[in-house]
Chain A
Amino acid sequence: MTIRNQIRSGRVPLAAFALAGLLLLCGHAGAAPLLPGAPAETTPGTDTFAGLTPVADESFTITAYDQSSNPRFTATVESRVLEEPSGTLDFAYQVTNDVSVGEPDSIEFVTLTNYSKFTTDADFVAGTGNVAYKDIQRASAVGGFQISMDYSPVANNIANGDSTDWVLIKTNATSYDNNGTTNLQDGATASVASFEPVPEPISLGILAVGGAVMLANRPGRRSRTVA
């Protein structure tokens, strides 16, 4: 039976969905949860970089200005991609509130995007900076689009000259790009580009096949064929 016939008979969509489901299950098998809409970590500060292989590293510096164009803080965000022995990728972030005269604000809230479609297990790596978040959560919207970290209690403020402990987010992704964002807030806001997980090409391929199959089987096309 040719592929065209399989498509027409509706067998390929079933096979494609089964394969996609199998791959998704494989991805989920090793993941511990930072579920959308849920808090993280019952044992914070216990993760380490041990056994991880560095893949990519980048950093950006940005100044946040208020509505009167006054600078409120200047921050450097460094992000890294690390590979687990299993081949999945972890993402790490560190925020530094650069020493800057006349810029009074601490940084009190940080969000990371885009984690939709991926399982996540987040923690900070203790002792790699001088402040840690109070808590970390994953949004419930759009499949857990963003991960939010609260530094608002005084003891957790990212004050002038402070660097956060590295935040390590373990995922089931195997590909990445640098179209993600790290958002920073206090008296003003700023966003910089950072690494994010992306669907691997095979998943995109499956999606493309699924889309093509659906297009091929759409009712209008069938009725025209019959006619």
Chain B
Amino acid sequence: MSSSTSKCSINRVDKMQFLKARNMKRTWMRYVAPACAAALLLAANGIASAAVVLPLTGGSGYPDGNGAAFPSAGETYQTTINSPVEYVTTPLGPGSVYDLRFYIQTQIYTTPAGTVDFVYQVHNISDNNNSTSYGDSVDRLSVQSFAGYAVTADYLASTGSSSAGNDVAPVTIDRSTPDGSVVGFNFQDYNSQNLFQYTTLIPGAYSDYLVVRTNSTTWQNGTASVIGGEVGQVTVQVPFGAIVSVPEPASLGLIALAGSSLLARRRRSGR
């Protein structure tokens, strides 16, 4: 008798453990696993795009040329503003000068979430066509101020010029320390991922579209500067106004994961 009672209670314990394990497995399969998969997928998406997410306090990275998936669905064109032509010369000797001329175009787009994206393009129009003027190349473009705004930057490949050698992509994109106010695009660089790639924005060349996605709601005048053998700066458009809080895809994935876990926990304790 005692042995049958004890056998029965062991069976009950086994059954309870089995049911508990089965419930946990079901919960995992129904909620947690899909949430994890979604989070991983979103995070992987973010990595694959390789747009350079620039922290508020500065950073840098190698862009991949997909323009941070620009334009996104529902993105609306607002306006295009060309800066004045900046013209700098340095005497090289009797009758000859080193010549830097450029202008920068800013295109402005808005997203359905109300945020503003900026598309910059540098055109190097330095005079390099006669024996008295040697055209300067542009090594780097910097634009400010982006202080306080979230910034994701990239370039859009093959949007500079159809002429060979005149379509120039930045090799690196960076954001300044400590306040993140300056976003810079380096054209003259050996890409550490490809030691044989040498780029510079030569006279006559256009940069590819330089796409800067922000969480600002409007825009104002800012400063863009270029450097080569000489330097020059012009007025362009930069972020302004309120900051819209738009979580990035990986954060959305994490939020979904946390929500699913809480839901599953609640269901378990309810049973």
Contacts and interface: CB of A to CB of B under 8 A. Distances in A.
Given A111-B139, A152-B174, A186 B184 contact: yes
Contacts of B260: none
Interface in A171-227: 181, 183-191
Contact of B135 (A39, A113, A141): A141
Nearest to A189: B231
Contacts, number: 147
Interface stretch (B31-39, B185-193, B208-216, B241-249): B185-193
Contact of A154 (B59, B190, B231, B235): B59
Contact of A105 (B176, B222, B235): B176
Among A68, A116, A152: residue with most chain B CB under 10 A: A152
Contacts of A189: 225-227, 231-233
A79 interface: no
Contacts of A106: 176-178, 182
Contact of A187 (B174, B223, B234): B223
Contact of A159 (B178, B222, B232, B235): B178
B136 interface: yes
Given A37-B198, A187-B176, A187-B182, A142 B232 contact: no
B101 interface: no
Interface residues of B, number: 46
Contacts of B225: 185-189
B62 to A, nearest CB: 11
A152 B229 contact: no
B229 A139 contact: yes
A186 B139 CA distance: 12
A127 interface: no
B181 interface: yes
B58 to A, nearest CB: 5
Among A109, A159, A191: residue with most chain B CB under 10 A: A109
A118 B229 CA distance: 16
Given A114-B92, A187-B144, A154 B223 contact: no
Interface string B80-122: 0000000000101000001000000000000000000000000
Contacts of A159: 177-178
A67 interface: yes
Contacts of B58: 154, 157
A88 interface: no
Contact of B223 (A111, A146, A153, A188): A188
A145 B134 contact: yes
A145 B200 CA distance: 14
B172 interface: yes
Nearest to A146: B229
A139 B189 CA distance: 11
B176 A145 contact: no
Contacts of A187: 142, 144-145, 176, 181-182, 223, 225
B230 A150 contact: no
B222 A139 contact: no
B218 interface: no
B14 interface: no
A123 interface: no
A67 B136 contact: no
Contacts of B222: 66-67
A137 interface: yes
A191 B231 contact: yes
B237 to A, nearest CB: 12
Given A135-B189, A141-B202, A183 B145 contact: no
Given A140-B200, A141-B134, A157-B177, A108 B182 contact: yes
B45 interface: no
9 contacts: A67-B233, A108-B182, A109-B186, A114-B92, A135-B190, A140-B200, A145-B136, A159-B178, A184-B231
Interface of A: 37, 39, 66-68, 72, 104-106, 108-109, 111, 113-114, 116, 135, 137, 139-142, 145-146, 148, 150, 152-154, 157, 159, 181, 183-191
Interface of B: 58-60, 90, 92, 98, 134-137, 139-140, 142, 144-145, 147, 172, 174, 176-179, 181-182, 184, 186, 188-190, 198, 200, 202, 221-223, 225-235
